[in-house]
Structure 1
Amino acid sequence: MDIIEHMLAAGRLALELSLYLMLPITVVMGGMMKALENKGLLAMLSALLSPITRCFGASGLSIIGLSKMLFVSSIAPIPTLQKLDTLEQDQRKLAASLALVLTLTQANVSFPMIAYGLDIGFVLLSSLVGGVVASAITYYGLTRHILVGPIDDQVKANEAVTVPNKTLFQSLNEGGMEGMKIAINMIPMLIITLFLMAILKDLHAIEWLTRAMAPAFSLLGLPEASALPVITKYIAGGTAYMGVMVDQIEQGVISAKDLNIIAGLASNPVDLVGITIFSVLGPRINVIFRYALAGACIGLLVRASMHVIWFS
């Protein structure tokens, strides 16, 4: 086992992914989303769509969280969810909104994978369908015993979002800097994860887990190697999943078709890292998190089924 070589290899791959794939995307998408937010367009959108989101139980403000998850990163919706924790008195809508966001794909993982054959259009579609299902099941089923609060969605959406007086250039620059921080901050964890996965591979632990899961993946028409990125995702998070997936594709053991099938199951923030982060965003979110997580899991099953049916 060459530990130093594993460290260097992990560093090279992590830098390549972060600086050449993730950084341009997070900077551009972060700048665009910040400009829309600062001009008040996201607030207008959330207020406009609140009658629609009310149909499946989510708050109008959840549209902003949805937009940031789909087009910036898994970290970007956190401020919006914290506002929801403070402003949304209806616990059922709070749980449904969180379930919606947890079901979506993360832009910082999905957009870089376009270069390797990911069908981003279908990923976004499955995210929306799965998210709506997760939200509706959480609101109408899992939390039906919780008392409904009095605050109206549209009022909260207007109160929750303040529009700063900034020029377009300032907004683009601010959002781009936030996007750059997201990409740079992922480098240490990505290096450590890739290094640990290489060590576990040398110790044959990954081989054992892969063989154990292989029968289930074969039923979906996936190769045995596809178990590795999925295991990585739920242990170490989406960034680590992307790193391992890219490595597997470059080695030729996973195809673009396999990538698109797996994306329905693995492209989401529900993993050990994500659960730790989202469950502690606020005291009220902490109380209803188990309902949101259960609803998100149902939504993710819908997403996974869509990808298996469409790409098999």
Structure 2
Amino acid sequence: MDIIGIIMAAGKASVDVALYTLIPVMVVMLIIMKYLEARGILDRIVALLSPLLKPFGITGLGIFALIQLNFVSFAAPLAALAIMEKRGTSDRHLAATLAMLFAMGQGNVFYPLIPFGLQWGAAIGISVAGGLAASAVTWYLSGRRLSVRSLLPETMPVEDKSSSGAIAIINGAGSDAIRLSLGSVPMLILSLTIVGILKEAGAIDLLTRLISPLLAAVSISDVYVLPALTKCLAGGTAYFGVASDLLQRGLLTPQQINASAGFMVQTLDLPGIGIYLGIASRFVRLFRFALPGALIGIALRSVLHALLF
């Protein structure tokens, strides 16, 4: 096994994904989001939606996190979650928000997949539906015994209006986009290296042979094995790296990308769990209450994508 060759190939693929896919998409989307935020449009959207989403256990900052996850990246809601923790948002609200975020798809995977045929509008709509289902299950069932008492009133994060000019927005959003995109490269290299080693060792082929009869029984192609394994071990960015390679080689079709997006594009993977639970110890304690709702939300999204595509 050529370990160095595998590492070099993983490095090249990771840098290509970061430079030519993630950075352009993230720059444009973050500029749009920063502009809407600086002009107060996001605040008005949150104020409009708050009464509608209150029955799902989602607060103002929770709505902000929903928008950031679906339209920017999996890392974007971290600031909102940190503010919720700092301001003493109740355990029940926090668990519902956590379940929602784990069940939804992330913008840093949705947008790069659009050139490969992802139906973005349907994917976003189903993502939000799955997230709200997850939060509702957590709010009314798995987390119903959690406290609803908040330590302080929530407020939206305040933007510095003195630095909200067009040039400042573009420069700030561009810097954030580059930082987020390049920040994913080390994890992407490591994960693709692990996947490459498993593939060269025959582990993935063995796993594919073992579960192929089960997949065939439910009419699921075994082409999903490698992307699914990559997604669970290494997260959404690594999944995109593998999926884009399979698409370019004709081993994966746009229809299969759309049909599987409900299961493949979500944040309930090892990196996502580690990043979100690392914000504060309270998130670790609440994870077991959020997990059932997140799983139901992902299941709902998976079924809707399979039925539609």
Q: Deviations over 1:268-301 (max 9, x none)?
A: 1110111111112123323212212221111000
> How much has 1:219 moved relative to structure 2?
4.3
How far apart are residue 79 of structure 1 and its match?
0.4
What is the aligned length?
Answer: 307
Name the counterpart of 2:288. 290
Identical aligned residues as a percent? 36
Name the stretch that deviates more: 192-201 or 231-240.
192-201
Partner of 1:112: 112
Q: Distance in 2 between matches of 1:112 and 1:189?
A: 18
Shift of 1:216: 4.1
Provide the residue aligned with 1:163 in structure 2.
159
Q: Which amino acid aligns with 1:209?
A: L
Alignment partner, residue 257 of structure 1: 255
Q: Choose 180-189 or 20-29, whichever is displaced more.
A: 180-189
Structure 2, unmatched stretches of 5+, are none
- The normalised TM-score by structure 2 is 0.93
Asked if structure 2 preserves the Cα contact closer than 8 Å seen for 1:236 and 1:272, the reply is: yes
Structure 2 matches for 1:1-312, cutoff 5 A?
A: 1-149=1-149, 156=154, 159-165=155-161, 166=163, 167-311=165-309
Counterpart CA distance in 2 for 1:150 and 1:115 is: 43
Cα distance, 1:150 vs. partner? 5.5
User: How many Å separate the matches in 1 of 2:272 and 2:7?
Assistant: 25
For residues 170 and 215 of structure 1, what CA distance do their matches in structure 2 show? Answer: 56
Q: Which amino acid is 2:266 matched to?
A: N
The residue type equivalent to 2:181 in the other structure is A
Given that residues 228 and 264 in structure 2 are in contact (C-alpha distance below 8 angstroms), is that contact kept between their aligned partners in structure 1? yes
Partner-residue secondary structure (3-state), 2:184: helix
The 1:182–1:150 alpha-carbon spacing in structure 2 relative to 1, beyond 3 Å, is closer
Q: Secondary structure of the residue that 1:75 maps to in structure 2?
A: coil
Specify the code of the residue in structure 2 equivalent to 1:160.
M
Deviations 1:187-237 (A, max 9, x none): 222122222211111111111222233344334533212111001100111
What TM-score comes out, normalization by structure 1 length? 0.92
| Alpha-carbon spacing, 1:51–1:218, altered in 2? closer, same or farther (3 Å) | same
